[in-house]
Chains A and B, each alone.
Chain A
């Protein structure tokens, strides 16, 4: 079972213990070296700015909601989280320096957060090929 970044965006984030809604998913932050999601960036209903939720506090991403472990440990401040690089729409470069379109969507494992497939405008790329995501491009191994 996989989920798409585009499906996750806008889902409410609810704690399992208290059924408290922490906000909605604004974006998913990727740890490119580990090829998995590291944080969920929230559109805050309470705090201003973008509170973030570390992936280890997420139990699962369902069809209709993201279930998180209990508050108050659930919320972290943005300063503790790494810089968010938006993957969707990013330019794709191979490690050989050739462009490979732009990111259309990303499929991930909703429980482990591992990146399964990167869908680009020039076709899909297996998640394990991901090696970097920076201000200029998302970098994948060519072979």
Chain B
């Protein structure tokens, strides 16, 4: 399993070609909620006087998502903004600060950040959780999995996901593994006993 990083930490990371030229810096991280995968990034120019770029970086064009830079083959892989996110989606899709609800309908807190892996998968969410007894707040990590749905309005999690919360990123890494192994073992049939009932 590769290292986990908070999506908000990707903001301002430089986009660098393999020729060593910095062509942009990351503005928004855009991910596909149902697929749990980064679809791309919107970009700002570099420097004080450069505004948002009329170009975006689709995920398939990312050579590597590193700790200090996002590497691309060359400037030519940048695409038009609509390749990553339509303007309407951008306006209503922000997930930082949205409410977290369990599938039993209880308020579990708010989303602080999205945890992503270097391969672009969304591993889970950093949540400011409300503890039921006396409404104590603490920061926890909740893995993405079956029955987890996210949009610009809310993050809905299965009540059982609450058992897999971690207090920090290192222990979350281990828990995501356990959670995934469990999900895989349960197979596809049992795994769909979630919120997404459409019949």
* Residues of A near any B CB (own CB < 8 A): 32, 85, 90, 93-99, 131-139
Contacts and interface: CB of A to CB of B under 8 A. Distances in A.
Interface residues of B, number: 17
Contact of B19 (A90, A94, A96, A134): A134
A94 B66 CA distance: 9
A136 B14 contact: yes
Nearest to B73: A95
B19 A95 contact: no
Contact of B21 (A95, A97, A131, A135): A135
B69 interface: yes
A136 B20 contact: yes
B63 interface: yes
Interface of B: 14, 16-22, 63-71
Contacts of A85: 20
Contacts of B17: 132, 134
A133 B17 CA distance: 10
Contacts, number: 68
Given A93-B16, A97-B16, A135 B67 contact: no
Contacts of A135: 20-22
Nearest to A131: B18
B19 A97 contact: no
Contacts of A137: 16, 20, 22, 69
B16 A139 contact: yes
8 contacts: A90-B20, A94-B66, A95-B64, A97-B68, A97-B71, A132-B20, A134-B21, A136-B14
B69 A93 contact: yes
A137 B16 CA distance: 8
A96 B14 contact: no
A98 B67 contact: yes
Contacts of A94: 66
A95 B69 CA distance: 9
B172 to A, nearest CB: 21
A133 B71 CA distance: 13
B71 A99 contact: no
A93 B72 CA distance: 12
A139 B66 contact: no
Contacts of B68: 93, 97-99
B119 to A, nearest CB: 12
A94 B65 CA distance: 11
Nearest to A97: B66
Nearest to A134: B20
B71 A95 contact: yes
Nearest to B68: A99
B64 A139 contact: no
A135 B46 CA distance: 12
A44 B70 CA distance: 39
A137 B71 CA distance: 11
A133 to B, nearest CB: 5
Contacts of A99: 67-69
A93 B17 CA distance: 10
Contacts of B64: 95-97
A79 B165 CA distance: 61
